[in-house]
């Protein structure tokens, strides 16, 4: 955890489990910590001057909404989805017009060096041609950015969500609501100079509503210890060990898979900021967990790499690749290997207009066949989005996303196109 990242959740750090790229809607990993609230001091506009005493309601034009202890945002979008039921290969997918309404709230409180925040988000997705597929997604988060003395700081976070499984989370065909709960504590204490101690612990639970996917329902706890070294703001290195135990809720007497599965990770990572336009991060590691099929322990080499190139404030490119041993997504096993590659390009055409395009690929290893589960599969996705800033608080957006899943039994394409308006006064 480098100096610039202290007080914010650590990124990466062996937590690679789902396909978390711009091209997909981000998958909630309950063990991960929350994004910190935005800094309101950077959002002060031209109304920062003191109000005129002659104006009875002078606070209206000068009040900065970003300074409010409770912040609300609204999002409304509509479009088209050509596979709303996540149909199996060989079946004709059902298409429908779609409307999505989303409301979010963020509350913040500072008591000396301690910062507390709470986030809530509710989204209603309605399908015009099949009301039974309509759903309501919910997400709630609580966080405490704590500081103990001059040398120790970290974050304690709790999260709960009930959401329709995204493409990278889908265990099999059909609709599946994924219910995630988790508590996570992560911190760093300075030891000597640039050397620091890293520590983390937490627990999480995962539940599926799809009958076939309930074989993957599990509770897990983990602990993590490591060291990091901040040579400067340009160089950061860390090494850590992580141990986790997962208990699957469904009995596994009929197979060789254990009901309780232990997993260990060891990883070393290095980040280098070459200039304001170029930075890179690389990580190498190894993980051990029971393998699919016979349940015998196996060792898997892991890696992660990211290259960020931003030649100006107008252009940005991010190239990333990873290989990790994470929780099972589409096979009945203690763990599953996931390999990802992605490229994201961003271009700000003007002060009000911005574009983003991305392409990504996810490969999930296979295992013994299980009814209702995908098994091994490969996802390829291409997405594009344009955003036009109408006012400092309001923007219009248009997006299209094409996802194709390749399986042994065929392929399943899904295309989603949306236009929307966002109101976010912070």
Whether residue 54 lies inside any domain: the answer is no
Whether residue 2 lies inside any domain: the answer is no
36-81 confidence digits (pLDDT tens): 333 333 333 333 333 344 444 444 455 566 677 889 999 999 999 9
- The CATH number for 372's domain is 2.40.160
Whether residue 366 lies inside any domain: the answer is yes
Q: What are phi and psi of 423, to 5 degrees?
A: -120, 115
Q: Beta partners for 116?
A: 109, 144
How far apart CA 80 and CA 416 sit, in angstroms, is 6
pLDDT greater than 70 at residue 321: yes
Share of the chain above pLDDT 90, in %: 71
pLDDT greater than 60 at residue 310: yes
CA distances from 270 to 13, 198, 238, 301 (A): 11, 15, 7, 17
Q: Which of 93, 123, 191 is nearest to 415 (CA)?
A: 93
Instruction: Locate 330 and state its tokens.
Output: 């589409």
pLDDT band at 231 (very low <50, low <70, confident <90, very high): confident
Number of domains composing the chain: 1
Whether residue 57 lies inside any domain: the answer is no
Whether residue 71 lies inside any domain: the answer is yes
How far apart CA 200 and CA 143 sit, in angstroms, is 15
Q: What is the mean pLDDT of the chain?
A: 85
With 0-12 / 13-18 / 19 or more C-beta atoms within 10 angstroms meaning exposed / middle / buried, residue 30 is buried
Among the residue ranges 14-23, 78-87, 189-198, 263-272, the one predicted with the least confidence is 14-23
Whether residue 374 lies inside any domain: the answer is yes
With 0-12 / 13-18 / 19 or more C-beta atoms within 10 angstroms meaning exposed / middle / buried, residue 110 is exposed
pLDDT band at 23 (very low <50, low <70, confident <90, very high): very low
253-293 confidence digits (pLDDT tens): 555 577 889 999 999 999 999 999 999 999 999 999 998 87
Whether residue 47 lies inside any domain: the answer is no
Among the residue ranges 24-28, 148-152, 209-213, the one predicted with the least confidence is 24-28
Cβ–Cβ < 8 Å for 172, 372:
yes
Q: Which of 353, 425, 416, 423 is nearest to 98 (CA)?
A: 416
Q: Which range of residues forms the domain containing residue 233?
A: 13-31+66-423
- Which helix (H) or strand (E) segment is 60 a member of? helix 59-62
pLDDT greater than 60 at residue 19: no
Instruction: Locate 44 and state its tokens.
Output: 């002060």
Q: Beta partners for 410?
A: 407
Q: Which of 155, 160, 196, 202 is nearest to 181 (CA)?
A: 160
Residue in this structure with the two tokens 């911005």, named with its chain if needed: 354
Whether residue 119 lies inside any domain: the answer is yes
């Amino acid at each position: 955890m480098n100096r610039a990242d202290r007080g914010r959740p650590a990124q990466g750090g062996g937590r690679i489990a789902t396909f978390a790229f711009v091209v997909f809607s981000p998958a909630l990993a309950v063990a991960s910590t929350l994004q910190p609230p935005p800094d309101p001091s950077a959002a002060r506009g031209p109304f920062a001057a003191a109000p005129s005493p002659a104006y009875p309601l002078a606070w209206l034009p000068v009040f900065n909404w970003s300074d409010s202890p409770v912040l609300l945002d609204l999002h409304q979008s509509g479009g088209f989805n050509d596979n709303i039921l996540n149909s199996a290969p060989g079946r004709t997918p059902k298409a429908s017009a779609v409307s999505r309404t989303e409301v979010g709230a963020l509350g913040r409180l500072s008591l000396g060096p301690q910062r507390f925040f709470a986030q809530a988000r509710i989204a209603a997705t309605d399908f015009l041609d099949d009301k039974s597929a309509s759903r309501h997604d919910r997400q709630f988060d609580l966080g405490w950015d704590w500081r103990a003395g001059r040398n120790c700081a970290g974050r304690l976070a709790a999260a709960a969500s009930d959401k329709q499984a995204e493409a990278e989370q889908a265990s099999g065909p059909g609709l599946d609501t994924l219910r995630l709960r988790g508590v996570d504590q992560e911190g760093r204490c300075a030891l000597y100079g640039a050397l620091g101690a890293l520590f983390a612990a937490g627990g999480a639970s995962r539940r599926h509503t799809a009958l076939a996917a309930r074989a993957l329902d599990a509770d897990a706890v983990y602990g993590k210890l490591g060291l990091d070294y901040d040579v400067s703001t340009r160089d950061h290195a860390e090494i850590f060990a992580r141990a986790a135990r997962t208990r699957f809720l469904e009995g596994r007497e009929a197979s060789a898979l254990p009901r309780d599965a232990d997993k260990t990770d060891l990883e070393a990572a290095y980040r280098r900021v070459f200039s304001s336009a170029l930075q890179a991060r690389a990580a190498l590691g190894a993980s051990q967990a029971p393998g699919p099929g016979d349940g015998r322990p196996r060792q898997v080499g892991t890696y992660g790499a990211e290259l960020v190139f931003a030649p100006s404030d107008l252009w940005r490119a991010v190239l990333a690749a990873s290989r990790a041993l994470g929780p099972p997504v589409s096979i009945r096993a203690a763990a599953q290997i996931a390999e990802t590659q992605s490229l994201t390009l961003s271009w700000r055409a003007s002060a009000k207009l911005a574009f983003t395009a991305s392409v990504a690929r996810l490969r999930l290893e296979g295992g013994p066949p299980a009814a209702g589960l995908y098994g091994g599969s490969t996802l390829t996705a291409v997405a594009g989005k344009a955003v036009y800033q109408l006012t400092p608080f309001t923007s219009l957006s248009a997006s299209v996303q094409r996802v194709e899943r390749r399986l042994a039994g065929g392929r399943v394409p899904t295309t989603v196109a949306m236009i929307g308006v966002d109101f976010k006064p912070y």
